[in-house]
Structure 1
């Protein structure tokens, strides 16, 4: 019974090593040996747990998507005020800085989405989960009169996530073109218009 636990621990160790390798080196030129070195193992030993570097990076992506979505769900859970929930949701979706590790991972690994259906499916899941949270907030706010939506909740939610993705990418570039605070103000401005409410008076 101990063997499966050891295997799971090894897989977690390799996932962490791969995560650090991607953050430090990026995907361009990343080799299995780079991950093996981080983990203190041989490349052959890595392949015992993951048949390929691609499958190992898929696990890194899966873990990153899970963490990101869970953090966003936690950020708004338990807040009764729809306006505050909307504001907290916006703030939870932007990188804190160009060095935001989790955001960097998601953007960097996104390069595989064009070529690998498994990667693409997980990014679709990421997008849909975020949209779903926004839809819940917008519909609840509309039902209570806190929001006067200028369109359907789904379209507004989709636009908010797309805005976050666009600004987030520019924030995490090697030479950032947007500061997080500026991006936040721009998204809040759209949210206020689309939801028919004010958010700037909230702290």
Structure 2
């Protein structure tokens, strides 16, 4: 029994070390970008040897992929909570839209994912995670719209198509916003998101404005 406890303790310590390395990898990637990040940079950030990093992750690509996987899991879980949580369908749809938008031009999540899109052109493992994130977002919007249709408050013949169109529009606008297009503000992004969503579900932008005014 004692050996089982020792193995369990060691496994817990290994998990903690991996989590620490993943957090360090994210910090370094945010500073240097994925292409410019080296294992040596991550090792320096946590004051360990490169050998220790390779003990937990065979390659830099594996470490970066696991870091992105952790970010994906966190964001996907939050999207599921928002799309299936309490509140009227319009409140939940508005919550999903607001979660997706960057908090600022320097929003770390969006800077990370834009970098991942570029890396995914040449890294199949990164590309797979980027696609999975996109599917999670579209699924959250589709689920919320579908439930609103069933409740009789939305009118939408193709919830999946509506979700894909909202996704494509917002991705394009958010990239422009993040890259410094000063004709766009976060409030303007939110207005575009609500207008597009209202059009897709048979409501008006004023209906979303009423949700915002109510504090939901």
Do they superpose with TM above 0.5? yes
Matched, 1:121 2:128: yes
Instruction: Output one character per residue of 1:81-115: Cα deviation in whole Å (capped at 9) or x when no partner.
Output: 11111111111111110121122212212222112
Bigger Rg, structure 1 or 2:
2
Distance in 2 (CA, whole Å) between partners of 1:49 and 1:140 is: 43
- Who is 2:107 aligned against? 100
Deviation, 1:17, is: 0.6
Matched, 1:188 2:212: no
TM-score by length of 1: 0.91
Match for residue 200 of structure 1 among 196, 199, 209: 209
Unaligned runs of 5+ in 1: none
Distance in 2 (CA, whole Å) between partners of 1:128 and 1:143 is: 22
Match for residue 65 of structure 2 among 47, 55, 58: 58
Instruction: Output one character per residue of 1:46-87: Cα deviation in whole Å (capped at 9) or x when no partner.
Output: 111111111110011101111122222233443331111111
Match for residue 168 of structure 2 among 162, 170, 178: 162
Match for residue 93 of structure 2 among 86, 91, 97: 86
TM-score by length of 2: 0.86
- Who is 1:133 aligned against? 140
Bigger RCO of structures 1 and 2 (CA < 8 A, at least 6 apart): 1
Instruction: Output one character per residue of 1:2-56: Cα deviation in whole Å (capped at 9) or x when no partner.
Output: 3222221111111011011011222242211110111111112211111111111
- Who is 1:171 aligned against? 177
Deviation, 1:136, is: 1.3
Cα root mean square deviation, aligned: 1.6
Unaligned runs of 5+ in 2: 1-6
CA contact (8 A) 1:18 1:56 kept: yes
Match for residue 29 of structure 2 among 4, 22, 29: 22
CA contact (8 A) 1:98 1:176 kept: no
Matched, 1:74 2:81: yes
